[in-house]
A and B are shown apart, each in its own frame.
Chain A
Amino acid sequence: MSLQPETFKSLVKVAAEQVIASAPELTTLDQAIGDGDHGTNMKRGFEAVLGKLDAISAQPLDEALKMIGKTLVMTVGGASGPLYGSFFLAAGEALSHDKHLPDDLADVFGSGVNAVSARGRSQAGEKTMLDVLVPVLETLKMAAGQPDLIAQVRTTAAAAVERTAPMQATKGRASFLGPRSVGHIDPGARSSCVLVQAVCASLEGRQ
């Protein structure tokens, strides 16, 4: 899994386009248990990322990730801005401090996950994006170096997002619904899954 500048650029492009394409689905999910703005917020943020794609991909990888993070922070307009923004800012920061891809992928991803957890004062099991990000991190650790790592990550993310349906939300707007949040997939978990799947698809296409 090498990450040449052109690979990174197309990876970011595919991921952003997939998030934008999933905006109606994210909105529908968020209308069920939140305030219904997750789709439009994510679309706004990733359109801004696409708008800066040339500038982002001209940076070294650590700075590029931080630029994505800052763009999301400044443009999303909901809690998901600081949450996703912090993920990319922290992942970029990890790469600025002696971490390298692909060897340290799990560490770098883990830095991002820790930042989301700290920003949201949340843990896995609370019906949030962490319920996809944490299982994906576990797979990245367990399956590091295995030839089917990407396929395992895809499977993990797809299964993890479904497991948010029976959970009761205790964080975010969905927590206001109490037991009525049960039975719906979490929109943040879904958007995390979309991002992870898009990155996997982009990398698989280049293997």
Chain B
Amino acid sequence: MTDTVGIVIVSHSKDIAKGTADMVRQMVGSEVKVAFCGGNPDGGLGTSVSLIIDAINDAWSAKGVAILVDLGGAETNSEMAVEMLEPARRDLVVVCNAPIVEGAVMAATEAAGGSSLAQVKAVAEELSAD
């Protein structure tokens, strides 16, 4: 399945990332590629750039990938991961400014309808409006 935007969930906690991914899959089944990661390189709470890069590649779609994050370090490390992708992929990955659980579910639901990356990001970010 490469004609829907992929979703990546990045939390400091692998349990939160996995739980969020489970909720997304409940909504969209296998229509949308979903990958998740959580934990620092030692497995403690935190995030890992190399795990984020792996997750982006796992969820890769020609339509792009939307990343949902929890707290600051997840966002900073996700932005770093995007910059470390091969140049052709960088412009097709966005980090959404949205709450992680609601944002991931909304983004995936939008993606399942075949929406563009910009539309998926916009729908997730409506949750952060006002």
Contact = CB atoms under 8 A, between A and B. Distances in A.
Contacts of B44: 37, 40, 77
Interface in B12-53: 40-42, 44-50
A177 interface: no
- Classify the secondary structure of B's interface with A: loop
A82 B84 CA distance: 11
A120 B76 contact: yes
A74 interface: yes
B4 interface: no
Contacts of A82: 49, 76-77, 79-80
B42, B47, B48, B80, most chain A CB atoms within 10 A = B80
B48 A79 contact: no
Contact of A79 (B41, B45, B50, B73): B73
Interface in A55-85: 73-79, 81-83, 85
A178 interface: no
B99 to A, nearest CB: 15
B72 interface: yes
Interface residues on B, range: 10 to 19
Contacts of B49: 73-74, 81-82
A13 interface: no
Interface string B39-72: 0111011111110000000000000000000011
A172 interface: yes
A119 interface: yes
A78 B41 contact: no
Interface residues on A, range: 20 to 34
A37 B41 CA distance: 13
Contacts of B80: 73, 81-82, 85-86, 119
Interface string B62-104: 0000000001110011011000100000000000000000000
A139 interface: no
Interface in A21-70: 35, 37, 40-41, 44
A83 B79 CA distance: 11
Contact of B76 (A40, A44, A74, A83): A83
Interface in A62-113: 73-79, 81-83, 85-86
B71 A44 contact: no
Contacts of A79: 72-73, 76-77
Given A41-B46, A82-B79, A73 B40 contact: no
Given A81-B80, A173-B71, A75 B41 contact: yes
Given A82-B76, A83-B76, A119-B79, A44 B50 contact: no
A77 B84 contact: no
B40 to A, nearest CB: 3
5 contacts: A37-B45, A41-B46, A73-B49, A82-B76, A119-B80
Interface of B: 40-42, 44-50, 71-73, 76-77, 79-80, 84
3 smallest CB-CB distances across A and B, nearest first, come from A77-B40, A79-B73, A77-B46
